[in-house]
């Protein structure tokens, strides 16, 4: 959940375009208003900044400081440009501090009608907001004290940093006091948002849902933050339909916010197995991020990247996902406007990276099996190197995750479903904790969670974790018991978690000799999420039938070597045929129902072995991943691949100006 203060209007008139225009008209009419004495260029730069002419605003600020390095207004303006237009919070902090130092040295009596109080007030507000976005909660409180002394403000502003410091009772008192006072500059919305987050931090699910829903429905201004927070709170009480409704509402509002409703929707749609809708939300996420200011973009880069990577992972773009997670692990974002802790965010990066690297290793083994021939020895060598590389990266990611998960509170919140302070990942990915942390740590935390977690429906999530513990420990009887119990009461919307449970149930039934029950469970898993079988390391029992031609036989030989198929002569049916359109590989259920097919046409003068290799890989790609249309430009924008600009992107959003050039600073009218 994020703070509404991030999008509150500042004394400089930040807000909606109409409000900026009204403020600009008033200033033009009054020439230089009271409190804005100083270099006229600073005033002109401020107007340019309000109009989105960021380059012009920076030039005016630099001109002011070039004429007078001690110009208060020059430091304030440059600090505002650095924060709002460039997202350079550290340098913005320096200029805000310098402006206040100069003002207090020049006017020791403090601000009054004879001083440039406007620039002083703007410097204080800039300082407070920068401290807030950087997560400097104690410094933010100290700055609020300074603001209160000079320019009485809403007491509700104190609630958010107090909440982040764990001083919940104090935070609640300040927020309630703000609601009893006059609503100034959205102070009631800020207070309600703080109360929503405080209830979530106290792990009071019902209170959080009530507070956050109230903040979304009784807002004095339409707020992306309030709607996005309500979406998160709806998940705490396992109301998936309400979570989607509030998130969709948030997408229709301002992007000048640390909230990321499209990323939330991608996470929700993937968890529900609604892969096509998740794919459709990806370009919306990219456009949303492109339209944000740099400082807001920094607040959610990890959350955006992880949900994009998760979508790519489940749709079979595993190498793309692994590149995103590797780069994201080296680029932590800001977090001051969220109630999440940095260790929890970094643990999420490491867990998704671990899953992506392990799945990429699995795919490399499949590729190796398809490449074991004299004609494709180079491809086999490349696949072997990828296996080693991904295994090493997976091990390193697991070590990072275990480091960041040292907090008992974070670990307990993660094992209990949808609590504040958990690792911000969907529940189907939380099962990675068993492999990463080991059975002992997870078992102890699970036992503690069972003693305190009594919300209706939550027991199914704890049973799902117990089933995973049993599977990793090789206990088929316990794995079956817990998987069946979890499937009996789990929220139907949790499609990917259900798929993993069916995969585990199939593994347990197979270990105990009931192949028919195992196949039935695995077919259920495939219907919900084909990739769940690959990620669980399942080898499907199959009967491989191939045509009598040489190419069909060559493809069938490669499929028999695959770690994803166990040619037992019964079970699923894997049929390989060849005609004038190319070789075709299809997976059929035991009932004969067609599940998935892939066709590969030979290329001109291509050796048969290479065609067979490509066909075997194509079968895997079609059988173990849902078909979702994602554009190549979107994939390149996400994972850092070379794009039309001829360079590789450095982060999730570096290439977004290719998609939404009107959002880039290049639109600036220097004149």
The pLDDT of residue 632 is 52
6 phi/psi in degrees, rounded to 5: -60, -25
Same domain, yes or no, for 602 and 524?
no
CA gap 358, 386 in Å, rounded: 11
Average pLDDT, integer, range 500-509: 98
Closest CA to 46 of 31, 61, 64: 61
Alpha-carbon separation of residue 528 from 367, 472, 624 (angstroms): 25, 22, 11
Same domain, yes or no, for 409 and 523?
yes
Same domain, yes or no, for 516 and 445?
yes
Structural domain includes residue 144: yes
DSSP state of 337: T
Closest CA to 135 of 310, 334, 278: 334
Same domain, yes or no, for 610 and 639?
no
Same domain, yes or no, for 497 and 618?
no
pLDDT, tens digit, 9 for 90 and up, residues 55-93: 999 999 999 999 999 999 999 999 999 988 888 889 999
The pLDDT of residue 347 is 87
Average pLDDT, integer, range 331-352: 70
Query: How many domains in the chain?
Result: 4
CA gap 237, 469 in Å, rounded: 25
- Count other Cβ atoms within 10 Å, centred on residue 574: 25
Average pLDDT, integer, range 342-358: 88
The per-residue pLDDT of the chain, averaged, comes to: 85
Structural domain includes residue 612: yes
Average pLDDT, integer, range 538-552: 95
- Starting at the edge strand that comes first in sequence, how are the strands of the sheet with 572-579 ordered? 565-567, 540-546, 572-579, 582-588, 594-600
Same domain, yes or no, for 6 and 142?
yes
pLDDT, tens digit, 9 for 90 and up, residues 445-454: 999 999 999 9
Q: Using 50, 70 and 90 to split pLDDT, how confident is the model at 664?
A: very low
Non-local (6+) Cβ contacts of 387 within 8 A are: 361, 364, 365, 368
State whether residue 599 is helix, strand or coil: strand
Note whether 501 and 483 are within 8 A (CB): yes
pLDDT, tens digit, 9 for 90 and up, residues 598-610: 899 999 889 999 9
Position 631 pLDDT exceeds 70: no
173 phi/psi in degrees, rounded to 5: -60, -45
Note whether 120 and 150 are within 8 A (CB): yes
Structural domain includes residue 343: no
Same domain, yes or no, for 139 and 36?
yes
Position 53 pLDDT exceeds 50: yes
Write the CATH number for 473.
1.25.40.10
Same domain, yes or no, for 509 and 602?
no
Same domain, yes or no, for 500 and 586?
no
174 phi/psi in degrees, rounded to 5: -65, -40
Q: Give the residue numbers spanning the domain of 545.
A: 540-623
Same domain, yes or no, for 554 and 613?
yes
> Look-up: residue for tokens 């225009």?
21
Q: Using 50, 70 and 90 to split pLDDT, how confident is the model at 186?
A: confident
Structural domain includes residue 604: yes
Structural domain includes residue 100: yes
Non-local (6+) Cβ contacts of 309 within 8 A are: 320, 321, 324, 325, 328, 352, 356, 638
The pLDDT of residue 301 is 80
User: Last residue of some domain: 493, 511, 530?
Assistant: 530
């Amino acid at each position: 959940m994020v703070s509404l203060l991030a999008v509150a209007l500042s004394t400089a008139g930040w807000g909606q375009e109409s409000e900026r225009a009204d403020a600009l008209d008033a200033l033009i009419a009054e020439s230089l208003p009271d409190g804005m004495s100083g270099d006229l260029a600073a005033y002109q730069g401020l107007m340019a900044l309000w109009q989105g002419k960021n380059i012009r605003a920076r030039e005016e600020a630099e001109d002011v400081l070039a004429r007078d390095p001690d110009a208060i207004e020059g430091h304030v303006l440059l600090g505002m440009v650095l924060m709002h237009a460039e997202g350079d919070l550290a340098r913005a902090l320096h200029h805000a501090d310098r402006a206040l130092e100069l003002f207090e040295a020049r006017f020791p009596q403090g601000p009054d009608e004879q001083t440039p109080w406007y620039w002083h007030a703007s410097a204080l507000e800039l300082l407070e907001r920068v401290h807030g976005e950087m997560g400097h909660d104690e410094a933010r409180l100290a700055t609020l004290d300074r603001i209160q002394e000079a320019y009485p403000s809403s007491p509700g502003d104190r609630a958010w940093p107090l909440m982040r410091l764990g001083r919940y009772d104090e935070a609640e008192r300040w927020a309630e006091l703000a609601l009893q006072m006059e609503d100034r500059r959205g102070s009631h919305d800020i207070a309600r948002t703080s109360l929503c987050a405080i209830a979530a931090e106290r792990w009071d699910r019902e209170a959080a849902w009530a507070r956050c829903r109230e903040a979304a429905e009784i807002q004095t201004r339409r707020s992306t933050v309030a709607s996005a927070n309500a979406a998160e709170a709806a998940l705490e009480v396992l109301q998936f339909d309400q979570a989607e409704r509030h998130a969709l509402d948030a997408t229709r509002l301002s992007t000048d916010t640390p909230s990321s409703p499209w990323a939330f929707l991608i996470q929700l749609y993937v968890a529900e197995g609604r892969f096509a809708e998740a794919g459709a939300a990806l370009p919306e996420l990219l456009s949303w991020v492109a339209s944000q200011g740099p400082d807001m973009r920094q607040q959610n880069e990890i959350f955006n990247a992880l949900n994009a990577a998760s979508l790519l992972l489940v749709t079979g773009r595993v190498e793309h996902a692994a590149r995103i997670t590797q780069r994201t692990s080296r680029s932590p974002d800001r977090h001051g406007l969220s109630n999440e802790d940095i260790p929890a965010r970094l643990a999420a990066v490491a867990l998704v990276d671990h899953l992506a690297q392990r799945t990429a290793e699995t795919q490399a083994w499949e590729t190796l099996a398809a490449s074991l021939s004299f004609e494709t020895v180079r491809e086999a060598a490349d696949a072997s190197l990828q296996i080693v590389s991904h295994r090493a990266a997976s091990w390193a990611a697991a070590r990072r995750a275990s480091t960041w998960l040292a907090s008992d509170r974070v670990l307990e919140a993660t094992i209990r479903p949808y609590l504040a302070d958990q690792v911000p990942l969907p529940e189907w990915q939380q099962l990675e904790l068993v492999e990463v942390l080991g059975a002992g740590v997870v078992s102890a935390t699970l036992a503690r969670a069972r003693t305190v977690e009594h919300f209706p429906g939550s027991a199914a999530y704890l049973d799902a974790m117990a089933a995973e513990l049993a599977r990793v420990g090789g206990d088929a009887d316990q794995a079956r018991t817990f998987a069946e119990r979890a499937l009996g009461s789990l929220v139907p919307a949790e499609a990917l978690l259900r798929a993993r449970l069916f995969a585990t149930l199939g593994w347990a039934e197979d270990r105990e000799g009931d192949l028919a029950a195992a196949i039935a469970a695995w077919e259920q898993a495939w219907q919900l999420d084909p990739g769940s079988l690959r990620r669980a390391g399942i080898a499907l029992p199959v009967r491989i039938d191939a045509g009598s031609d040489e190419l069909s036989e060559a493809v069938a030989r490669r499929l028999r070597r695959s770690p994803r198929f166990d040619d037992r002569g019964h079970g699923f049916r894997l049929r390989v045929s060849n005609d004038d359109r190319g070789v075709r590989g299809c997976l059929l259920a035991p009932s004969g129902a067609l599940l998935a097919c892939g066709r590969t046409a030979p290329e001109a003068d291509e050796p048969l072995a290479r065609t067979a290799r490509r066909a075997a890989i194509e079968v895997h790609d079609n059988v173990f991943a849902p078909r979702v249309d994602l554009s190549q430009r979107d994939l390149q924008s996400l994972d850092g691949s070379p794009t039309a600009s001829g360079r590789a992107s450095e982060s999730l959003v570096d290439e977004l100006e290719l998609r939404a050039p009107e959002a880039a600073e290049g639109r600036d009218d220097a004149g």
